[in-house]
Amino acid sequence: MALHNEVVAGLAARLDEAAVAGTAIPQVVSAAGVSADDAYAVQAALLDRRLERGERLVGLKMGLTSRAKMAQMGVDEVIWGRLTDAMAIADGGSVDIGGLIHPRVEPEVAFLMGRDVEEGDDFASSVEAVAPALELIDSRYADFRFSLPDVIADNTSASGYAIGPWQQPPAGLADLAVRLEVDGETVESGSTAAILGDPRNAFDEAVRLAARHGVRLRKGWVLLAGAATAAVPLPAGAEVRAVVAGLGTATLRAL
Ligand code: 0L1
Ligand code: MG
């Protein structure tokens, strides 16, 4: 049975108000018995509230793209969320994290859509550029603990992102070394292989899963493919860099 509109709106309001106030809440979505599929309706309503405040939808993000994170949550499918222009952080710029609950940062790969993407379209004909990226995540749930419906409704913990220099997609993306640095120290290292075996697979999954909810990647949109290492806590004052071999660096400073 589809979720009642008032329930969807009420849950979206709880999550939105938690984000605006920077105050953690309990796992209200799973407590209401909402399925993972229905949680995308809550996510859409949550995003509508941001759009009503003047934000613009500019892309999508994939979450739980590593096998380790999927196993940790007992799921076998990745999840996706939405990006707005207000979440963008200039590469090399700063982001005020004072209003966040428990920010973390993770190194990613970003894709730029060269055209409106339909189901069945492939990576090569759809993605015009690739870049190293940092994602800032901040769960609105206490202790960063949630079930799958909770995190889907919470827009997959999306909070911000910085994108490094765009370049034409290289021939291979499957096994590029990735480093996450905080104040010049390497705190995590891994490979783009952690992103579904090859970040290009994240594009296919984004197209397939978002289409189930009537969402298509549009020309000019960004897709964050997923994290190549674990996320780390982001303290105020830290300068963070994602270094992806062959792609370059994305940088942000937390204020
Ligand atoms: O971007 C991500 O992979 C995060 C997905 C949600 C789970 C989390 O907050 O760690
Ligand atoms: Mg991420």
CATH architecture of the domain with residue range 5-254:
Alpha-Beta Complex (3.90)
Read off the pLDDT band of 74 (50, 70, 90). Answer: confident
Cβ-based neighbour number of residue 164 at 10 Å? 23
Quick check: 199 pLDDT over 60? Answer: yes
147 lines ligand 1 (CB under 6 A): no
User: What is the pLDDT, as a whole number, of residue 1?
Assistant: 55
Reading the block at residue 163, the tokens are 């994108």
ipTM, interface predicted TM-score of the complex: 0.95
Q: Where are the alpha helices (DSSP H) in the chain?
A: 5-21, 28-31, 36-52, 67-73, 123-126, 148-153, 199-211
- Contact residues for 1 (Cβ-Cβ < 8 A; gap 6+): none
User: What is the pLDDT, as a whole number, of residue 141?
Assistant: 96
User: What is the pLDDT, as a whole number, of residue 114?
Assistant: 98
Stretch 220-235: mean pLDDT, rounded? Answer: 96
Mean residue pLDDT of the chain comes to 95
> Considering Cα of 72, then 108, then 217, then 246, what sign does the dihedral take?
negative
In the reported structure, the alpha carbon of residue 1 is separated from the centroid of ligand 2 by a whole-number distance in angstroms of: 31
In the reported structure, the alpha carbon of residue 55 is separated from the centroid of ligand 2 by a whole-number distance in angstroms of: 20
133 lines ligand 1 (CB under 6 A): no
Residue type, 144: F
Reading the block at residue 169, the tokens are 């997609």
User: What is the pLDDT, as a whole number, of residue 240?
Assistant: 98
Nearest CA to ligand 1 atom 5: 63
Domain spans of the chain?
5-254
Share of residues in the chain with pLDDT > 90 (%): 93
- For the stretch 165-197, pLDDT in tens is 999 999 999 999 999 999 999 999 999 999 999
CA 17/CA 11 separation, integer angstroms: 10
Share of residues in the chain with pLDDT > 70 (%): 99
CA 217/CA 210 separation, integer angstroms: 8
135 lines ligand 1 (CB under 6 A): yes
Residue in 27, 64, 82, 108 to alter for ligand 1 test, most ligand atoms within 8 A of Cβ: 64
CA 101/CA 139 separation, integer angstroms: 7
* Cβ(112)–Cβ(166) below 8 Å: yes
User: What is the pLDDT, as a whole number, of residue 79?
Assistant: 96
- Burial (CB < 10 A; 0-12, 13-18, 19+), residue 224, is buried
Ligand nearest to the CA of 79: 1
In the reported structure, the alpha carbon of residue 81 is separated from the centroid of ligand 2 by a whole-number distance in angstroms of: 10
User: What is the pLDDT, as a whole number, of residue 4?
Assistant: 87
* Cβ(137)–Cβ(254) below 8 Å: no
In the reported structure, the alpha carbon of residue 151 is separated from the centroid of ligand 1 by a whole-number distance in angstroms of: 8
Read off the pLDDT band of 76 (50, 70, 90). Answer: confident
Residue type, 109: V
User: What is the pLDDT, as a whole number, of residue 71?
Assistant: 75
Read off the pLDDT band of 69 (50, 70, 90). Answer: confident
Stretch 107-112: mean pLDDT, rounded? Answer: 98
β-strands 79-84, 127-137: how paired? Answer: unpaired
Residue 93's alpha-carbon distances to 2, 25, 60, 104, 232, in angstroms, are 43, 30, 21, 17, 19
